[in-house]
């Protein structure tokens, strides 16, 4: 696993041993950032269920002004901190080590985000809980995009109930990215 493009291009990143996380493959990460390339420069990026931190670090490498990572697992948080330091992005990154909802509450009123990425454990409806929170949160800029990495069978038909519109879905062999935005 590595940074694909930008100022930290080709730098290898640490991953967490074991099966507790599913690092996004380089191919899928590249497709994702090709779709977001106009949105990343100077943005505030929030990486939820951050794992190794590779998505937020990729955003910073590609010009994001700041990236925040929320991760609860101790070993994953240590991995993120190591990757932040290794990429020399200490001044542009902040790790919040707590569960996602508590982390969001801790950031509330302090920051607003242009891009929010989440890759929760599949098929546990954690994305629904997060979207419910974000539906009334000041963290989400009116034009913000929320990207959820989910299993292919994850249903987002409820998004409208929380005031979000599904902009698009990009399906891969084993998972998908769902792009959401607050309805205007």
> 46: domain CATH number?
3.40.50.150
- Report CA torsion sign: 160, 161, 164, 166: negative
Compute the C-alpha angle 16/19/24, nearest 5°. Answer: 70
Q: Is residue 135 part of a domain?
A: yes
Which structural domain range is residue 155 located in? 34-182
Would you state the pLDDT for residue 12? 83
Lowest mean pLDDT segment, chosen from 6-10, 60-64, 74-78, 164-168: 6-10
Radius of gyration of the chain (CA): 15
Q: Is residue 28 part of a domain?
A: no
Based on the structure, what is the number of domains in the chain?
1
Would you state the pLDDT for residue 23? 72
pTM of the model: 0.95
Q: Is residue 11 part of a domain?
A: no
């Amino acid at each position: 696993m590595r940074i694909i493009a930008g100022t930290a291009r080709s730098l290898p990143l640490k991953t967490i041993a074991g099966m507790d996380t599913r690092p996004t493959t380089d191919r899928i990460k590249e497709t994702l950032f090709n779709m977001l390339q106009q949105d990343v420069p100077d943005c505030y990026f929030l990486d939820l269920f951050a794992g190794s931190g590779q998505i937020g670090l990729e955003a910073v490498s590609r010009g994001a002004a700041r990236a925040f990572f929320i991760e609860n697992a101790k070993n994953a948080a240590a991995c993120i901190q190591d990757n932040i330091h290794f990429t020399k992005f200490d001044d542009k990154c902040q790790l919040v080590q707590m569960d996602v909802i508590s982390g969001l509450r801790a950031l509330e009123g302090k920051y607003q985000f242009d891009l929010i990425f989440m890759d929760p454990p599949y098929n546990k409806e954690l994305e629904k809980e997060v979207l419910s929170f974000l539906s009334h949160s000041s963290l989400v800029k009116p034009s913000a995009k929320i990207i959820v990495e989910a299993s292919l069978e994850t249903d987002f038909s409820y998004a409208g109930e929380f005031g979000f519109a599904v902009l698009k879905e990009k399906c891969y062999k084993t998972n998908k990215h769902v792009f959401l935005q607050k309805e205007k």
